[in-house]
Amino acid sequence: MNIANENWLWPLGAFFVLEAVFAIYTFWRDRRDLELLGYQNLVLAPHLVWGRRVLKGSLMLAGLLLILLGAARLQGKQVPEDLNLRGIDVMVVLDLSKSMLSQDIVPNRLGAAKKAVISWLRDRDGDRVGLVVFAGEAIVQVPLTLDLEAVSLVLDRDDVDAVDRGGTDIGEGIQTALTAFEKDDQNKRGKAILLITDGETTDGASDVNRACLEAKEKKVPVVAVGIGTRQGRPIPDGASFWGEALYKKNRSGNIVVSHLDEQTLKKIADSTNGIFIHGDSESGLNSIEKTLDNLQRTEMKGKGAVRREELAPSLGIFSAGALLLSALI
């Protein structure tokens, strides 16, 4: 079982609990009153009358519960679907270094990037998407898949602690994405790397130029999304004992300010026949889709994706039946 609209679960649950408490109080009050009237010979078979009221109220509560579960989009078991869709393959390469916590974009660079990618994934029917995250090293979190809901779920939970080694190694991120493409047999399918980073690399990082040259040879353009602003902001580094925000400092004791390295990202995009996108605004991030429209789309046949069974229609029928039955009793 799964709840699709989790944001509605608590308010709807609180409303149902209040209704249930009120119903229990009503049952108790009716039993007390009916017993009193029965002693006075004003009501015949008070226990039978009270039982009818309890049954009627219970059916109404059950109908209400089913309606609330339907509103929260209760989903059932996973159901495989046969697909016949045209699309491309995209590896999302996301920077999870601590500089992505800088707050020159609301709420911060990482939060804005995740929101944009998750929004973009909603309209990618037919595309296969994978996820690579990197900092001082890179890992494949999700291989290429048609199950974009799974990609969104993993991406939504990502934070700067998902990669053990600190730093920023963009070349390693690109190389890991290219290796992930090699494990797939869809050679004719259009491929692209969606790189989302502030562009700042650390000392000891692998050769970005070599990774870009390999991407160009394999005809995999890099869509480089520069997340951040030229002005930059300090890099958060926890909080003090008193709750005061701390920021990363260099060896001289000065606060480190992270800036968008636009020049590096433009060079990566140009050298791979890709494109650079300013990610310092929501409109810039939303233009990602337009840059992928020219890639070759091929048809995926005989493949399957997993979707969860929507139970809302069945819940609606059962709730209507329960409410109708309560009205007839």
Find the mean pLDDT for residues 209-227: 93
Please state, as a whole number, how many other Cβ atoms lie within 10 Å of the Cβ of residue 298.
16
In this predicted structure, the answer to whether residue 100 has a pLDDT above a threshold of 80 is yes
- The pLDDT of residue 6: 74
Find the mean pLDDT for residues 194-211: 87
pLDDT band at residue 111 using 50, 70 and 90 as cut-offs: very high
b/e code 131-148 from CB counts within 10 Å (16+ = b): bbbbbbbbbbbbebbbbb
Q: Which two tokens stand for residue 67?
A: 């309606």
Q: Which two tokens stand for residue 81?
A: 């679907």
Q: DSSP labels for 138-169? A: EEEEEEEES-HHHHHHHHHH--TTSSSS-S--
Between the alpha carbon of residue 237 and those of residues 100, 233, 247, 256, the distances in Å are: 12, 12, 5, 10
Selection from 16-20, 43-47, 216-220, 245-249 with the highest mean pLDDT: 216-220
How many Cα neighbours within 13 Å face the side chain of 179?
A: 11
Distance, in Å, from the CA atom of 232 to the CA atom of 253, rounded to the nearest integer, reads 19
* Sequence-separated (6 or more) residues with CB below 8 Å from residue 143: 130, 180, 183
pLDDT band at residue 80 using 50, 70 and 90 as cut-offs: low
pLDDT band at residue 286 using 50, 70 and 90 as cut-offs: low
- The pLDDT of residue 305: 55
Find the mean pLDDT for residues 128-138: 94
Q: Could you tell me the residue ranges of all domains in the chain? A: 2-77+310-328, 89-296
In this predicted structure, the answer to whether residue 139 has a pLDDT above a threshold of 70 is yes
Please state, as a whole number, how many other Cβ atoms lie within 10 Å of the Cβ of residue 212.
23
Distance, in Å, from the CA atom of 27 to the CA atom of 259, rounded to the nearest integer, reads 65
The better pLDDT of the pair 86, 260 is held by: 260
Distance, in Å, from the CA atom of 257 to the CA atom of 264, rounded to the nearest integer, reads 17
Strands (E), the chain: 2-3, 74-87, 89-95, 128-134, 138-145, 191-197, 222-226, 233-234, 236-239, 245-247, 257-258, 275-278, 298-310
DSSP 8-class letter at 101: G
pLDDT band at residue 302 using 50, 70 and 90 as cut-offs: very low
- The pLDDT of residue 304: 53
Q: DSSP labels for 289-311? A: GGGGTTS--EEEEEEEEEEEEE-
Q: Considering the entire predicted model, what is its pTM? A: 0.66
In this predicted structure, the answer to whether residue 176 has a pLDDT above a threshold of 90 is yes
CA 247 and chain centroid, separation: 28
Find the mean pLDDT for residues 207-218: 93
User: For 39-67, how does the pLDDT look when each residue is reduced to its tens digit (9 = 90+)?
Assistant: 777 767 777 878 888 888 888 888 888 88
In this predicted structure, the answer to whether residue 269 has a pLDDT above a threshold of 90 is yes
Selection from 247-251, 253-257, 263-267, 325-329 with the highest mean pLDDT: 263-267
Smallest CA-to-CA distance from 82 within 298, 296, 307 is with 307
Distance, in Å, from the CA atom of 312 to the CA atom of 73, rounded to the nearest integer, reads 6
Question: Going by CATH, does the domain composed of 89-296 fall within 3.40.50.2000?
Answer: no
- The pLDDT of residue 324: 87
- The pLDDT of residue 60: 86
